[in-house]
Structure 1
Amino acid sequence: MAGSKWVARTLTELSSRKWLSKLAGSIAQSSASRLFIPRFIKLYSIAEQDAEKAASEYRTLNEFFTRRLKKGLRPVHGDENTLTSPVDALITAAGHVSRGILLNIKGQNYTINELLGGSPRAAQYDNGYYFVLYLSPTDYHRIHVPVSGKIMERDHLKGRVYPVNDFGLTHMKRVLSRNERLVTYMTHKHGEAAIVKVGAMNVSSIKYVLPLRDVMAKGDELAYFEFGSTVVLLLEESAFEPRANLAVPSKIRMGEALGEWHSRHEEPQSS
């Protein structure tokens, strides 16, 4: 068993080169790739009726993969004190950041500093809260902002393209901080949030939705993945409480509540 895991790790290491990912992306963007859409739908049991257009209207496999959904299928929780999921995903980890460390994500610890590439903003999240949200090929792959606010910075961190599935997170060395990442920093009425979009094997790119906007409302489209990947959502230290019935692991849809903020101070009682 140990030998087979070593072989799998070695093959994964060899296949994590960016040029291979770009090649896979080029194939998925070719007109010939549209022939694979029906097989792709069947293989991953995709609810094609949820797509904005009929499957036959998509010109490439990549275009189908980054499809929008019909309006109204992902209602966004409207309470201004609620943090919503930015994606359809499996919650693979969640918890409080402990002195700058994300503890025990599939048996490995990550530091905020390495995840954010040494950003001077990293210290703001040292005692905050985090969610790791994994998108499988089955999922809707557009990323939305989880809270209304203003984008302060967009950071591109170059890296590899290791798989971010269960095998990758468990058996490869700290893939979330070694893979290519786009980080969006937002300020909001309760503080600041970092939306870390992590690239993965066979992901040709992570792209922002154009035109870029600095002021965004909760639920607005931010970016999208070309093939499956992961979002790490970081919140700075505040009075955030995750939803009581939110299990790890569990599936969640974009727009559903992850938790809410409460006032840091009790309101004074009238005498």
Structure 2
Amino acid sequence: MTTTTTAPASDASLGDHLFAAVQRCLPTRALSALMYRIAEIDSPGFKNGFIKAFMRGYPIDLSEAERETVEEYRHFNDFFTRALKRGARPMPSDPNLLASPVDGRISQLGAIRDGRIFQAKGHDYTAAELLADAELAKAFDGGSFATIYLAPHNYHRVHIPFGGKLRSWTYVPGRLFSVNPATARAMPRLFSRNERMVAIFDTAFGPMAVVMVGALFVGGVETVWGGRLTPPHSRAATPFHHQPDATVALARGDEMGRFHMGSTVVLLAPRGALDWQANLAAGDTLRLGQPLAQVLQHAVA
């Protein structure tokens, strides 16, 4: 298990710093909104060509999707947020295991130390910044976090890693920098600067935060309880806090939202709630449903 703490110096390359510097100059919200509109074009010739070109560049296996041919998708976004066949990503048989919420790769995981979350060598940020709520962040001090990066070729629906009831959710406006490893190495406080959706669930082990972080060319984020969250991409200076209008109770493995293009999910759990699987480390590839941690405070219903 990786329980990394903040290192004194970044290991970002010159190329990483240049890539981050270019992004600071870009109109990232406008570019992301434009990508969303392009990805919604439903002209058969355009969307089929777009999807086929994308599949030539990335290792995508449509045999595991509900719809296996390019022609069955209405537009690129429909393809990008494709559903998998039933049973393609089974949940663990042990009810006391926290499951991966996505297909992706571990960026970092470990302990939240002094309220801070490790991002990359030389960089961290606070749970209060990420959640946009200093009081709420106290519930996770000394707890656990996992940051999982979704590459463009991954399945882009997000599922709840452990059963719970939605307590609240928050839309936090922000920038839309890339969240790829190069940017994470070079950009301070990346995940707490980007636009994001923070969902807090009450579970058998206490509160659980599932944060869906937006990114460059992430044209849209949506949830199962609220529908499309973005676009438009707000420039407001303060977050928008919401209480669910009706009870939203999700079982482990239920879909909770989706990204239109790649991004990152950050999970937070309280002190003493989780014991990460010993074989997990930064850089490891994950599949939805793969065991991430043993839940230490769980009363099986």
Q: Provide the TM-score with structure 1 as the length reference.
A: 0.92
Tell me the residue number matched to 1:236: 270
Q: Are 1:189 and 2:223 counterparts?
A: no
SS at match of 2:48: helix
**Matched ranges for 1:17-96 at <5 A:** 17-31=28-42, 32-53=46-67, 54-96=69-111
**Residue type of the alignment partner of 1:49:** S
TM-aligned CA distance change 1:150 to 1:250, over 3 Å: same
SS at match of 2:184: helix
| Aligned mates of 2:221, 2:173 — CA distance in 1 | 12
CA contact (8 A) 1:134 1:164 kept: yes
State the percentage of identical aligned residues: 36
CA contact (8 A) 2:66 2:84 kept: yes
TM-aligned CA distance change 1:172 to 1:81, over 3 Å: same
Residue range with higher mean Cα deviation, 116-125 or 20-29: 116-125
SS at match of 1:121: helix
What's the CA shift for 1:5? 5.0
> What are the superposed Cα offsets for residues 155-200 of structure 1, whole Å, 9 maximum, x if unpaired?
1000110000011101122210000000110111111100000001
Tell me the residue number matched to 1:115: 130
TM-aligned CA distance change 1:125 to 1:232, over 3 Å: same
Deviating runs (4+, > 6 A) in structure 1? none
Count, aligned residues: 264
TM-aligned CA distance change 1:106 to 1:3, over 3 Å: closer
Q: Which runs of 5+ in 2 are unaligned?
A: 1-11, 228-246
**Residue type of the alignment partner of 1:10:** A
TM-aligned CA distance change 1:94 to 1:187, over 3 Å: same
Tell me the residue number matched to 2:243: none
SS at match of 1:120: helix
- Which residue of the other structure, out of 212, 216, 237, is the alignment partner of 2:250? 216
TM-aligned CA distance change 1:248 to 1:6, over 3 Å: closer
**Matched ranges for 1:153-192 at <5 A:** 153-192=168-207
Residue range with higher mean Cα deviation, 60-69 or 11-20: 11-20
Q: Provide the TM-score with structure 2 as the length reference.
A: 0.83
TM-aligned CA distance change 1:21 to 1:238, over 3 Å: same
Tell me the residue number matched to 2:287: 253
| Aligned mates of 1:25, 1:5 — CA distance in 2 | 26
Q: Which runs of 5+ in 1 are unaligned?
A: 265-271
Q: Are 1:12 and 2:23 counterparts?
A: yes
| Aligned mates of 2:152, 2:15 — CA distance in 1 | 25
TM-aligned CA distance change 1:106 to 1:163, over 3 Å: farther
SS at match of 2:179: coil
> What root-mean-square deviation, in Å, do the aligned CA atoms of Structure 1 and Structure 2 show?
1.9
**Residue type of the alignment partner of 2:87:** G
What's the CA shift for 1:35? 2.1
CA contact (8 A) 2:41 2:75 kept: yes
What's the CA shift for 1:107? 2.9
Residue range with higher mean Cα deviation, 203-212 or 62-71: 203-212
